[in-house]
Amino acid sequence: MGSIQQIIFMVLSVIALASALGVVLSKNPVTSVLCLIVTFFAIAGHYVMMNAQFLAVVHIIVYAGAIMVLFLYVLMLMNLNAELEPQKRNWLKYAGAISGGALLVVLVAALRDASMPAMSTANNDIGLVHNLGMVLFRQYVVPFEVSSILFLSAMIGAVVIGRKED
C-alpha cells in the first residue's frame, strides 16, 4: 500500500462492496435502496479517481438523483417498507448464493493471468465534458437522437402501462 491513490481505491472498494452486500442481504427494502445509493456514491468516487468527472456527475444526478428517488417513491407508495417475503424454501437461497460464488470464482480464475497495459497516474482530459461533447456530437449523433426517441417511447409506455383502466 504505497500511494495515496491505492489507499483511496481500497477505501472506496470496501465501501462499495459492503453496501452492495447490504442491498442483497437486508430485510427491509428501504434499507436496500439506501445501501444502493451508498454504492453509487462509491462508484462515482471511482469515476473521479479515473478522471471521468463528467460521468461522475451524470452518474450521481441520474442514479442517486432520479432512479433511486423513483425506487423510493414506488416503495413508499405501495407501502412495502416492511418485510414481506415468507421465504419458505430456504435451499433456493443457498443455491443462488452458491451459483453467484461459483461465477465469481470462474471469472477471477479466468482473468487472473491476463496481461494488460498499465494505468498510469497521469492526468488526461478525455473524461472532461469538452472532449466528450466533441466526440458525442461528431461521431455519435445518430445514437444520441435514437436514445431521445427511446426516452420518449419509454415515457409514453410508462404512462400507458401505469394508467388505471376503466
Partner 1 sequence: MPVQYYIFLSIALFCIGVMGVLMRRNAIIIFMCIELMLNAVNLLMVAFSKMWADAGRVDASSAQLFVFFIMVVAAAEVAIGLAIITMVYRNTHSVDINILNRLKN
Q: How far apart are CA 24 and CA 132, in angstroms?
A: 34
DSSP codes of every residue in 131-143: HHHHHHHHH-HHH
Closest CB 5 distance from partner 1, rounded Å: 6
Query: Judged by CB under 8 A, does residue 138 bind partner 1?
Result: no
Closest CB 39 distance from partner 1, rounded Å: 7
Q: How far apart are CA 125 and CA 138, in angstroms?
A: 18
- Of 70, 61, 69, 71, the closest CA to residue 41 belongs to 61
Q: How far apart are CA 55 and CA 136, in angstroms?
A: 13
Backbone angles phi, psi at 128, to 5 degrees: -80, 160
Enclosing H/E stretch for 103: helix 90-111
Q: How far apart are CA 52 and CA 131, in angstroms?
A: 11
Query: Judged by CB under 8 A, does residue 127 bind partner 1?
Result: yes
61-100 positions binding partner 1, by CB under 8 A: 62-63, 66-67, 70-71, 74-75, 77-78, 80, 84-87, 92-93, 95-97, 99-100
Query: Judged by CB under 8 A, does residue 13 bind partner 1?
Result: yes
From residue 12, alpha-carbon distances to 35, 84, 135, 160 in Å are 14, 32, 30, 41
> Quick one: which of 7, 11, 141, 150 contacts partner 1 (CB under 8 A)?
150
Interaction pattern, residues 19-58, with partner 1; x per rule: CB under 8 A: -xx-xx----x--xx--x--xx--x--xx--xxx-xx--x
Closest CB 166 distance from partner 1, rounded Å: 14
User: What is the size of the binding site for partner 1 (CB under 8 A)?
Assistant: 83
> Quick one: which of 4, 82, 122, 142 contacts partner 1 (CB under 8 A)?
122
> Quick one: which of 7, 76, 126, 141 contacts partner 1 (CB under 8 A)?
126
> Quick one: which of 1, 82, 120, 142 contacts partner 1 (CB under 8 A)?
120
